[in-house]
Structure 1
Amino acid sequence: MEQITKPHCGARLDRLPDCRWHSSMFAIVAFGLLVCWSNAVGGLILAQLKALGWTDNSTTATFSAITTAGMFLGALVGGIIGDKTGRRNAFILYEAIHIASMVVGAFSPNMDFLIACRFVMDVGLGALLVTLFAGFTEYMPGRNRGTWSSRVSFIGNWSYPLCSLIAMGLTPLISAEWNWRVQLLIPAILSLIATALAWRYFPESPRWLESRGRYQEAEKVMRSIEEGVIRQTGKPLPPVVIADDGKAPQAVPYSALLTGVLLKRVILGSCVLITMNVVQYTLINWLPTIFMTQGINLKDSIVLNTMSMFGAPFGIFIAMLVMDKIPRKTMGVGLLILIAVLGYIYSLQTSMLLITLIGFFLITFVYMYVCYASADLADRGQTPWLRSGECGRANQWYCRTLCRCSAAQ
């Protein structure tokens, strides 16, 4: 019987030079992340429904709470299922759930039915985001994985101003009764295209196949990737450098997270992410409704929201430039102070121009904080002491779990 050797996919992927193959993986994931904007249209849909008399502050709060609960559940369960079924299968499965719930939700007869669809929608979205980021980073080489991930996040956050621009263009053309429905159907159609691209061009992660002991399949995928890279670059690949300490993973109880230095990390990391999600989703879901409550009409509310949301990709871009140049503590505290001060000033404005300008910078700082929170959490799993032994296993589980929850954004 032929001996099947370990393919060492991680080392082989890490030594690949950047080429069109990496760009194609980036394009598929970035497009999938860009168009799955059911979360980004939440506030815009609520504004339309308020104009129709479907919502009040209570139902808006319920809608927002269901959004967060669905994404939280999806991020937790989706990661577990993705680890069992594979990155490609999970990608396609969660896209299917997300698309189906958007289409069904678009034809909701009442608010209760829409809220139920919204929950399923966000379970699918939360799971999808985890799978997209996990699958993508497994393909990228360790030397510049952070750069590639930042690029994906930058493209993905253009969904906020883009869907607002579409809503702004649809408002004078389509009645409010159909406007919000179309806003759900558009990302459903675009996500269907993303699913087709994934089905055709997104291979299973060889790292995942190797981790499941499916060495023969992993070797087949790796050879296909390597042959493609050689054709694209016209050069032989660098030698494989295998670093293996030979230590087998050890099981560790989750209770290890609640003792010693790990408990402090759990508390601090949780506070950082809770702050991030509360600030981010409060603004996304409530801004258009708040504008209308203040007497601003539906059209102008959507315009103001659109101008503000251009701060999302701008904030991600600025954070990419300064993230490694400012101490984490200084950046985190400074951004929270700026958000608090600008938020208060923003609440006092009545001028359309000032609302637009201050709103843009407020969203910019919010998304800089989103980047900070993700980077800070990742840093907390990188100390040598915590990477070793049982404490390291617990810390890695903690980081993966919270990253799953924070990825849904």
Structure 2
Amino acid sequence: MNSVQATSIAPAAANPVASGETPISKRLDALPVGGFHYRMMAIIGAGLFLDGFELALASGVLGQLVHLGWSNLKYNGYFVTATFIGFMIGCWAAGIIGDRLGRRASYQLNLAIFGGASLLAVVAPNIETLIVLRFVMGVGLGAELVLGFATLAEFVPPGKRGRLVATLSFIAQCGVFLSSLVGLWVIPNLGWRYMFLIAGVCAAVVWFMRKFMPESPRWLESKGRYEEADAIVRKIEESVGKTVALATVSAQGPVTAASSSSQGSVADLFSKAYVRRTVIGIATLCVIQICLYGMVSWLPTFFVQQGFDIVKSLKWSMVMTLGGPAGGLIGLLLADKVGRKPILVCAALVAIALSYVYVQTRAETLLMGLGFLLLTSFYVIVVVGQAVYVSELFPTSIRMRGTGLCSTVARVVAASIQFAIPPLFAWGGINAIVGAVGISLLVFALIVLFVGVETKEKSLESIAV
């Protein structure tokens, strides 16, 4: 290693600069995107792909369970509820464990949880056991969403962070789509158990791959483990063929002992410094749940009650599902070019307009096209909001707690929506649903516009200041 490469940094009494950047973060942000970053994206993306796959397999599995007499609508409801409860616990626990024990340790734990439970589901003797195992799967699945996006964000330089992190969400949406395709053949020909077998075996493979994933240098530095952080960054620098001059980083000053030793707590999320970020994060993730679980998942039911047979067709469902990858593609292409705030505000306003037009449409072809565009606009918010924006809002010491808290609140909202929609529909029909979702989108757009912070091309440390 040449003499100008940054060396190990020891703690000192100097204060960090106003930008909040540290020696380790400065070196990480100065690196070009290379093979290391793409390998990290592949390892993390594989887990998120399985997360989407496992979530989406539920609908096909539950349908066959009812057909076989294994389950009924009541037990199917318990299955879905168990998933939501597991999700909430997983989101919360991942935030605490990820900030205390590290990203890598929490990652391995959550993958072992949902992978192991999936394999046990293959031999579940009855629906009651399957529901318990689904709860355990939910814990792991919820943790995966909290950890994945934020972990990659800590490795990627600011100029490419939006695109690479958004790509993870695109990969997850592809998992949802592929799950529906695989289920079309596997469930009728091999049976529902094989869907869990596929997910469990793939999870075991990804778990092994992650044994070689490094810990986040930013997290290590925040804990005062400078030598370990420096060693990992050195390896990354070697892998991409670039070093950072000591003079470049020394001017920033080492992180203070106070900041490096801080454990952080959930209470910090409601402090004067970060409560604004917490509100933005909760608003972002809640509006996503309202769109997906308050409208999208109910649209077939709404139109069936209006005598619209088209919503029951496979063609309709496939077109709607394709809106996920399409929205993901748009999000990853624009995140670093346009910025987070403009994309989120515009996508919300477009979704409001499309929602209103969609439910008023009766022509089959137009309905299909509008449905695709509606899902696309929703998933632009999912990709840019959930994957990129929320993972950037909080400092390293409480990043996982922040995303975990926001995700937990959003899952509570998603679970509550299922009880609110039927009476709301009975009271005002589809217009009441659209009105409620539209108001939620408008409130979200106003929060992002007037309260939100722009994170485009900024270091994570400068955003947190």
TM-score by length of 1: 0.77
Report what 1:148 is aligned to.
164
Does structure 2 conserve the Cα–Cα contact (< 8 Å) formed by 1:287 and 1:305? Answer: no
Report what 2:5 is aligned to.
none
Does structure 1 conserve the Cα–Cα contact (< 8 Å) formed by 2:102 and 2:215? Answer: yes
Does structure 1 conserve the Cα–Cα contact (< 8 Å) formed by 2:121 and 2:133? Answer: yes
Does structure 2 conserve the Cα–Cα contact (< 8 Å) formed by 1:335 and 1:369? Answer: no
2:210 is aligned with 1:198: yes
The 2-side partners of 1:259 and 1:207 are apart by 22
The 1-side partners of 2:197 and 2:271 are apart by 48
Match of 2:117 among 101, 113, 129: 101
2:389 is aligned with 1:361: no
Q: Equivalent residues in 2 for 1:345-360 (5 A)?
A: 345=360, 357-360=369-372
Report what 1:390 is aligned to.
none
Helix, strand or coil at the partner of 2:55: coil
Report what 1:182 is aligned to.
194
Match of 1:157 among 170, 173, 177: 173
Indicate how the Cα distance of structure 1 residues 69 and 188 shifts in structure 2: closer, same or farther if over 3 A, else same: same
Q: Report the residue type matching 2:223 in the other structure.
A: R
Indicate how the Cα distance of structure 1 residues 281 and 10 shifts in structure 2: closer, same or farther if over 3 A, else same: same
- Structure 1 residue 359: deviation in Å? 4.1
Indicate how the Cα distance of structure 1 residues 46 and 278 shifts in structure 2: closer, same or farther if over 3 A, else same: farther
The 2-side partners of 1:261 and 1:339 are apart by 37
Indicate the larger mover: 360-369 or 281-290: 281-290
Report what 2:25 is aligned to.
10
Indicate how the Cα distance of structure 1 residues 366 and 50 shifts in structure 2: closer, same or farther if over 3 A, else same: farther
Q: Which string of whole-angstrom CA distances, capped at 9 and with x for unpartnered residues, describes residues 283-307 of structure 1?
A: 786788999999989xx86664344
Q: Equivalent residues in 2 for 1:242-261 (5 A)?
A: 242=249, 243-244=252-253, 248-249=258-259
Indicate how the Cα distance of structure 1 residues 239 and 255 shifts in structure 2: closer, same or farther if over 3 A, else same: closer
The 2-side partners of 1:223 and 1:262 are apart by 32
Indicate how the Cα distance of structure 1 residues 196 and 290 shifts in structure 2: closer, same or farther if over 3 A, else same: farther
Q: Equivalent residues in 2 for 1:267-278 (5 A)?
A: 269-278=281-290
2:243 is aligned with 1:237: yes
- Structure 1 residue 263: deviation in Å? 6.7
Q: Report the residue type matching 1:91 in the other structure.
A: Y
- Structure 1 residue 48: deviation in Å? 2.3
2:202 is aligned with 1:173: no
- Structure 1 residue 213: deviation in Å? 2.3
Identity %: 30
The 2-side partners of 1:16 and 1:307 are apart by 40
- Structure 1 residue 32: deviation in Å? 2.2
The 2-side partners of 1:338 and 1:107 are apart by 47
Report what 1:90 is aligned to.
106
Does structure 1 conserve the Cα–Cα contact (< 8 Å) formed by 2:41 and 2:164? Answer: yes
Helix, strand or coil at the partner of 2:349: helix
Does structure 2 conserve the Cα–Cα contact (< 8 Å) formed by 1:209 and 1:218? Answer: yes
- Structure 1 residue 120: deviation in Å? 0.8
- Structure 1 residue 314: deviation in Å? 0.5
Match of 1:25 among 40, 49, 52: 40
Q: Report the residue type matching 2:195 in the other structure.
A: Q
The 1-side partners of 2:56 and 2:115 are apart by 15
Helix, strand or coil at the partner of 2:114: helix
Report what 1:218 is aligned to.
229
Does structure 1 conserve the Cα–Cα contact (< 8 Å) formed by 2:331 and 2:383? Answer: yes
Q: Equivalent residues in 2 for 1:16-95 (5 A)?
A: 16-36=31-51, 37-95=53-111
The 1-side partners of 2:303 and 2:197 are apart by 25
The 2-side partners of 1:77 and 1:17 are apart by 33
Q: Which string of whole-angstrom CA distances, capped at 9 and with x for unpartnered residues, describes residues 55-105 of structure 1?
A: 444444333332222112111111211222222222222111110111112
Q: Report the residue type matching 1:106 in the other structure.
A: V
Structure 1's unaligned 5+ residue stretches are 231-235, 388-392
Indicate the larger mover: 56-65 or 362-371: 56-65
The 2-side partners of 1:104 and 1:379 are apart by 32
Q: Which string of whole-angstrom CA distances, capped at 9 and with x for unpartnered residues, describes residues 194-253 of structure 1?
A: 112111x312222222222223322332222222222xxxxx524253334866448998
Report what 1:233 is aligned to.
none
Does structure 1 conserve the Cα–Cα contact (< 8 Å) formed by 2:24 and 2:229? Answer: yes
Indicate the larger mover: 318-327 or 247-256: 247-256
TM-score by length of 2: 0.68
C-alpha RMSD of matched pairs (Å): 4.1
Q: Report the residue type matching 1:154 in the other structure.
A: F
Q: Equivalent residues in 2 for 1:116-127 (5 A)?
A: 116-127=132-143
Indicate the larger mover: 143-152 or 238-247: 238-247
Does structure 1 conserve the Cα–Cα contact (< 8 Å) formed by 2:28 and 2:157? Answer: yes
2:308 is aligned with 1:308: no
Structure 2's unaligned 5+ residue stretches are 1-7, 12-21, 415-465
Q: Report the residue type matching 2:201 in the other structure.
A: I
Helix, strand or coil at the partner of 1:213: coil
- Structure 1 residue 139: deviation in Å? 1.6
- Structure 1 residue 158: deviation in Å? 0.6
Indicate how the Cα distance of structure 1 residues 151 and 302 shifts in structure 2: closer, same or farther if over 3 A, else same: same
Indicate how the Cα distance of structure 1 residues 295 and 337 shifts in structure 2: closer, same or farther if over 3 A, else same: closer
- Structure 1 residue 337: deviation in Å? 1.5
Q: Which string of whole-angstrom CA distances, capped at 9 and with x for unpartnered residues, describes residues 321-368 of structure 1?
A: 45537836742541441463266358x78x6x6775454333223212
- Structure 1 residue 315: deviation in Å? 1.1
